[in-house]
Amino acid sequence: MRSMGGIAGRAAATLLAAGLLAPVLSLFLTAIQGTGENWPHLFAYVLPQAIQETVLLLAGVGVVVVVVGVGTAWLVTAFDFPGRRWLDAALLLPLAVPTYVVAYAYLDLLHPLGPVQGGLRSLLGLARPRDLVFPELRSLPSCILLLGLVLYPYVYLPTRALFLMQARSMIEAAKILEASPARMFFRVVVPIARPAIALGASLALMEALNDVGAAEFLGVRTLTVQVYATWVNRSDLPGAAQIALAMLAGVLALLALERAGRAMRGHAGLGQRSPPMSRTRLQGGKAFAAMVLGWWPVLFGFALPAGYLAEAAIRRVLASGLPPTLGREITQTMLFAGGATLVTAVLGVFVAASSGLVSPLPGRWLSRIASLGYALPGTILAVGLMPPLALIDTASAHVLEATTGITVGLFGVGTATALVAAYVIRFLTIATGATEAGFGRIPSSLTDAACMLGSNRIGALVRIQLPLAWPAILSGGLLVFVDCVKELPATLLLRPLNVETLSTHLYGEAARGTYEDGAVAALLIVLVALVPVVLLLRTSGEVARRPMAAIGQNAPDAIYARSPSGAEAR
């Protein structure tokens, strides 16, 4: 009986691994189909500009997230000034605003007829919009800055945790040797932070590479935007697959950076606790400068866009009422995200428990395969999913028609199944990482005792591990749900015809230039995304009640669980 269970477990693990790898394999097969016809055009007119703008965008975003993330992390851990504890938590808030929502908000906020330029013209006594010219917002530098202001918390969280947990002896030795603050920062602090910087920057760049809404809104033709345009506008799936293959090179480079950061993370002893550093008390002008430097990312990365969206949504509701399609879009968003979350949570439990249910080696490999989905941008995943789903549709239709004589429609392509499958593959590593974290806190003696009393592995899992680990499983499911609600590229490409979610509704309004009609949907997305950030804020809020070194170990968990290798590292 136990051998039959082991065989069934291995068969399920093999089937799941094949399903997770299918999009990547089909991507190569789809790209090969159009090689002779499309590559000359792509090489001559599409790829050069797209690669150049993608590389420049990632390089710029990398600089912004490292400078802002490391700088703010050092500011709140090394110095004490008025409002520091509030700032420590508030620096996480930009995580609640998706990149395309920030771009959407600033396009309306800084429009020539928008409130900022209109207010300045009134203040200066200028009558015509052309009398006051702002720099063009639709540009690569603007896209770099906006993405950096949203994604810097990916660097801030692990870097702050490292500063809190690393031994303070090196920094105090530098102070004893009377090293200047600048010399101590660049010669001691930055080298210490290298593991966290590499880890956080790689995650931030993966998010930037996945972005399609902000880049397209701001006129940046990245590889991701070109994949979408080639598939949707030119109906060229092989061409989209070929561009997606070019993106894989960047993905592999970012994965290498993330793995290097993870290896350095372990080598640096990021999980070790040590006494906290003694903070330098700032007063007068220095304290004011620290407050300005610390709060400006929160102001421009969260407060201004979120505040403007709230004001615009209230104005839209008072003037015209709620959008008539809003209820249907909310329902469809919740159904897609909820269904994907349920499936992802179940599969996350299976992957996390596979080392015990199947065997340790296949279980580890299954965890690694599951982590690949998060490394793939939504556009690549969508392109890779289409051929396998079409094959399943064709095979199912033939089998049903041959056995029952009934002709059926599509099961996968153009249905909710495709979208849910994309969500599950992309965010499975989050659920797996959270579940493994919950299982890791359960003493192995409890499971061993259950097995000694006659229970098998499945019984121990159901009766002991799941009841004890359910808070971690629930938190992982919450993160998956929010990410599904925010996901734009895969939703744009795979949603059923004539079906809108909150994210695609917002994208459509921004594409048409009717920003005021999308404000309510944008605000709802931000409010949903605030839920996990509030949980992180509660963790950061413990700073006021517990020793700093006791917090650092938990602070980056929600971010690190999103890493492609996060589940394995746990």
Structural domain 1-31+326-499, CATH architecture: Orthogonal Bundle (1.10)
**How much is the pLDDT for 4?**
47
Place of tokens 């279980």: 363
Write the burial class of residue 338 (CB in 10 Å: 0-12 exposed, 13-18 middle, 19+ buried).
middle
Top mean-pLDDT range of 2-6, 318-322, 408-412, 544-548: 318-322
280 phi and psi angles, rounded to 5 deg? -85, 125
Name 129's Cβ contacts closer than 8 Å, sequence gap at least 6: 112, 113, 117, 121
Taking residues 327-345, report their average pLDDT.
91
Say which amino acid occupies 243: I
CA angle 200, 206, 208 (to 5 degrees): 105
Q: Is the per-residue pLDDT at 545 higher than 50?
A: no
**How much is the pLDDT for 149?**
93
**How much is the pLDDT for 544?**
36
Q: Which residues pair with 80 in a beta bridge?
A: 281
Rg of the chain taking only CA atoms, in angstroms = 25
Reduce the DSSP state of residue 408 to 3 states and report it. coil
Spatial separation of the C-alpha atoms in residues 501 and 484, rounded to whole Å: 11
**How much is the pLDDT for 85?**
87
Spatial separation of the C-alpha atoms in residues 14 and 89, rounded to whole Å: 43
List the one residue out of 374, 465, 490, 476 whose CA is nearest residue 432: 476
DSSP state of 459: H
563 phi and psi angles, rounded to 5 deg? -65, 145
Q: Which helix (H) or strand (E) holds 122?
A: helix 115-124
Taking residues 308-336, report their average pLDDT.
88
Query: Residue 190 has which token pair?
Result: 């930055």
Spatial separation of the C-alpha atoms in residues 307 and 163, rounded to whole Å: 32
Confidence of residue 335 (pLDDT cuts 50, 70, 90): very high
Spatial separation of the C-alpha atoms in residues 147 and 142, rounded to whole Å: 9
Q: Which range among 5-19, 154-168, 193-207 shows the weakest confidence by mean pLDDT?
A: 5-19
Q: Is the per-residue pLDDT at 151 higher than 90?
A: yes
242 phi and psi angles, rounded to 5 deg? -65, -40
Query: Residue 37 has which token pair?
Result: 């016809």
pTM for the full predicted model:
0.80
**How much is the pLDDT for 553?**
35
Q: Which range among 176-190, 198-212, 255-269, 404-418 shows the weakest confidence by mean pLDDT?
A: 255-269
Name 383's Cβ contacts closer than 8 Å, sequence gap at least 6: 23, 27, 30, 227, 231, 237, 240, 241, 244, 493
Spatial separation of the C-alpha atoms in residues 422 and 487, rounded to whole Å: 10
**How much is the pLDDT for 569?**
38
Q: Are 533 and 558 contacting, i.e. CB atoms less than 8 angstroms apart?
A: no
Mean pLDDT across the chain: 77
Q: Are 344 and 16 contacting, i.e. CB atoms less than 8 angstroms apart?
A: no
Spatial separation of the C-alpha atoms in residues 237 and 243, rounded to whole Å: 10
Spatial separation of the C-alpha atoms in residues 145 and 418, rounded to whole Å: 34
Nearest-10 Cα torsion for 36, 40, 41, 44: 170
DSSP state of 272: -
Top mean-pLDDT range of 287-291, 464-468, 558-562: 287-291
Segment 505-518, tens digit of pLDDT? 888 888 777 777 78
Residue bearing the bigger pLDDT, 45 or 384: 384
Say which amino acid occupies 173: A
Segment 496-505, tens digit of pLDDT? 878 889 998 8
Q: Which range among 92-106, 127-141, 263-277 shows the weakest confidence by mean pLDDT?
A: 263-277
Residue bearing the bigger pLDDT, 267 or 17: 17
Write the burial class of residue 319 (CB in 10 Å: 0-12 exposed, 13-18 middle, 19+ buried).
exposed
The domains of the chain are located at 1-31+326-499
Q: Is the per-residue pLDDT at 300 higher than 80?
A: yes
Q: Are 373 and 344 contacting, i.e. CB atoms less than 8 angstroms apart?
A: no
Residue bearing the bigger pLDDT, 249 or 324: 324
